[in-house]
Structure 1
Amino acid sequence: MGEADEIMNKIKQNNTIPLTDTRKKTQGTAFSILGSISLSHLLNDMIQSLILAIYPLLQSEFTLNFIQIGMITLTYQVTASLLQPLIGLYTDKHPQPYSLPIGMGFTLSGLLLLAYADSFPVILLAAALVGTGSSVFHPESSRVARMASGGRLGLAQSLFQVSGNLGSAFGPLLAAIIIAPYGKGNVGWLSLAALLAIIILLQVSQWYKMQHHATSRHVSNTLPHPRFSKKMIIRSFIILLVLIFSKYFYSHQYQQLLHLLPDPEIRYFSAKCADSSLCIFVCCGLFFGLAFGMGGIGAAVLGYVADKTSIELVYKICAFLPLLGIFTLLLPNIENKNEKNSTIY
């Protein structure tokens, strides 16, 4: 009772729970919950990445044109991305612990519908359901990762981010192994991953509900934070949005270039291979595997740096990383068709 009274006195004085006390209260459960929500993030992003991975299969089975493929992408992106801030805005005011398994239920429904889709409108509906599941999952799962951090926000966010990157890498791989050789119907098997995520998220939601009730009786925020003016908050928020825009603008362009790269470059370098098609796929796998792998490692390393130093240093590091693109000047020139058979150094 003495320790509890001391904590309550500190809450009344500072309107915050001391960081050391918070860590003591969450130390026993933080990593188990963080591991569970990270695993769920892996499963969620693995399923999400399947939509793009099976585009060639959908195109050949339903003879889709580029406009229809664009409609699938638009439907998915609107529900998976643009809907997400609205859900986050609502759950900020009205936390919904059990929205996590409910969101994964949308994803499960979308997978099953996609597996048995027999027309283009049904594919659009399936993409919308999978996207909606992602929109419901991400805001609350990020909140859980923060609650389970015990104050180690950089570590928690990096683990959470790494799991998502791994899931995005596993999705196309599973599509190539499970779906491509046997047809679209095998998408249904991946619904087992969504079912597993629902089971995990039910346990996480129970913990989330208990934590929410425990903190709401005392204080709205469990971690101390400096107070800034409204003008400063708005300006900082705009700067962060610009950073996110610039990052994803060039990263998505980079992904498109990776799709184009195998055709002119990899075909040239794999031309002397006994099975050039195999070499092409191996090289493509190397590029994409390295891209996603570096994303995961980068998230972990930068999270550690943020915890040990400051988030400002991480921003500075990330701001200068695109300068590595200057090494593309060292790539060989393969546009000259007269030099196809010459040796390139």
Structure 2
Amino acid sequence: MNLALNRAHEVPVRRLGAKRELFFLSATHFLNDVMTTGIVPALLPLYKSTFHLSYLQAGLILFVSMITSSISQPLFGVITDKKPKSWFLPIGICLTGFGLTASGFASAYWLLLILIGISGIGSGIFHPEASRGAYMAAGTARGMAQAIFQVGGNFGQSVGVLLLPLFLIATGLRGLGWFSLATVVGLALVLSILPWYKQSLVQNEARKKTIKGRNHLAGLMLLTGVVILRSWTQIGVAGFLPFLYLHQGFSLKHGDLLTFIFLFAGAVGTLIGGRFSDRISRKWLLLVSMAITVPFAWILPHVHGVLSIIVLFLFGFFVLSSFAVTVVYGQMMFPKNIGLVSGLMVGFGIGAGGIGATMIGWLSDQFGVYTIFNFLAFLPLAAAALCLLLPSEKKLLQNQ
């Protein structure tokens, strides 16, 4: 209650600072994530059959993509925190698009891995600077701004799952050549906002010099733990849901459609959660979102038909309703290191989720996919427990 009053006194009206630029960044984020975390996992069957790969070799493609795109984001964040680089935006989206497009014409497996790595590096370069742009465009509505930016990426991931059955099965890998058009569109979007971006960087660097508070390392470590547990839950469901429904006798297309519903619900949750985070405590919103996720995670493998669709939608909605919240919360803990925080909350979280998916796959081999889905319910429960230890926003504001 006191926090809400403090916020009302601090900023009477929450308004976005640069709407056009923010929506352009979100659209570019959509295109970038379609071409990396969205479509690369879905392409594995095509890569496997084209290059006659083993399951291990196919898995290595996904590993290279995640390591280069997700794990590298905090590293690029540290680099750009010291000296922001506006040219990372066009370079990033171009490398992402080039790597994916060229992978459809690769003549050898080793060349395919290099091209996937180039695409991942482009994504790793793009994300920290694009997140900084969303931060500068936020005005006084920081939660809403991050939600608009993040929902572009989340929606891109969900659409990427659908591109295989709708498009690429018919065209084969050569159909990836059409993504050169997406790259051109993304490049045009970021070039159009570059003058605003450079001017905003000057203003933001001047503002950073006035920040006297200390970074809250323990809080950021706890928050990163919450993000990793949330990511394990999200990627565990998205990655293994088709196997669950195959086990129940449904087709792969049925599983892919339900996976899209789960991810689309997450995008909706991201947008609504970000909007509410500008009005209520981010700590408690994060705690409640994790706690509410638990029952839906637990009952998911035990329901069928329309009820399973409802449960899956609510599961996806609540588990990702805190996506933008964690980014803004982390920025409050490390106010001088926007790039690092964005890389940790978005990139490292997704990369850690991929590592968790490998562990979940091993456990599925040992105990069965039904057992794993029951196990997934404990991950958001552990995340909710960690949320109780997070510093309050009031304390963070006083520290600044």
- TM-score per shorter chain, which class? 0.7 to 0.9
Mapped contact 1:98–1:202 kept (Cα < 8 A): no
Give the paired residue count: 294
Pairing partner for 2:166 from 168, 171, 177: 177
Q: What is the identity, as a one-letter code, of the residue corresponding to 2:225?
A: V
1:262 equivalent in structure 2? 245
Cα offset, 1:331, TM superposition = 3.6
Structure 1 residue runs of 5 or longer lacking an equivalent are 1-18, 268-276, 333-345
Q: Are residue 296 (structure 1) and residue 267 (structure 2) matched?
A: yes
Select 1:245's aligned residue among 228, 231, 238. 228
Q: In 2, are the aligned partners of 1:80 and 1:132 still within 8 Å (CA)?
A: yes
Q: Kindly state the Cα deviation for residue 90 of structure 1 after the two structures are TM-superposed.
A: 0.4
State the superposition RMSD in angstroms.
Answer: 2.5
After the TM superposition, which residues 28-177 of structure 1 pair with which residues of structure 2 at under 5 Å, given as runs?
30-48=18-36, 49-177=38-166
* Residue in 1 that maps onto 2:213: 227
**Separation in 1 of the partners of 2:283 and 2:14?**
24
Q: Using a 3 Å threshold, how does the CA distance of structure 1 residues 65 and 215 change in structure 2: closer, same or farther?
A: closer
> What is residue 315 of structure 2 aligned with on the other side?
none
Letter of the structure 1 residue corresponding to residue 226 of structure 2: L
Match of residue 313, structure 1, among 284, 289, 298: 284
Determine if contact 1:54/1:180 at 8 Å carries over to the other structure.
Answer: no
Specify the alignment match of 2:365 in structure 1: none
Query: C-alpha separation between the residues in 2 aligned to 1:221 and 1:295?
Result: 36
Q: Would you say the 8 A contact 2:30–2:155 is kept in 1? A: yes
Q: TM-score by structure 2 length?
A: 0.68
2:255 counterpart residue number: 284
Cα distance change, pair 62–87 in 1 and its aligned pair in 2 (3 A) = same
What do the CA deviations read for 1:302-323 (whole angstroms, capped 9, x no partner)?
A: 1122111120121111220232
- Report the secondary structure of 1:180's partner residue: helix
Find the aligned partners of 2:301 and 2:116 in 1 and give their Cα distance: 40
- 1:194 is the counterpart of 2:183: yes
Once residues 163 and 140 of structure 1 are traced to their aligned partners in structure 2, the CA distance between those partners, rounded to angstroms, is: 15
Report what 1:322 is aligned to: 293
- Gap change, CA 1:166 and 1:238, over 3 Å in 2: same
**How far 1:70 sits from its partner (Å)?**
2.0
Q: CA deviation at 1:328?
A: 4.0
Superimposed CA distance per residue, residues 202-257 of structure 1 (whole angstroms, 9 cap, x where no aligned partner): 122221101122444x43268xx7835x5xx0110111111011111222222232
Contact residue 154 and residue 304 of structure 1 kept, 8 A:
yes
Structure 1 residue 266 displacement after superposition: 4.2
Q: Which has the larger radius of gyration?
A: 1
SS in 2 for 1:219: helix
- Name the aligned partner's letter for residue 20 of structure 2: S
CA contact (8 A) 1:107 1:129 kept: yes
Percent identical among aligned pairs is 28
Q: TM-score, normalised by structure 1?
A: 0.79
Taking the aligned partners of 2:60 and 2:204, their CA distance within structure 1 comes to: 44
Equivalent residue letter for 1:66: Y
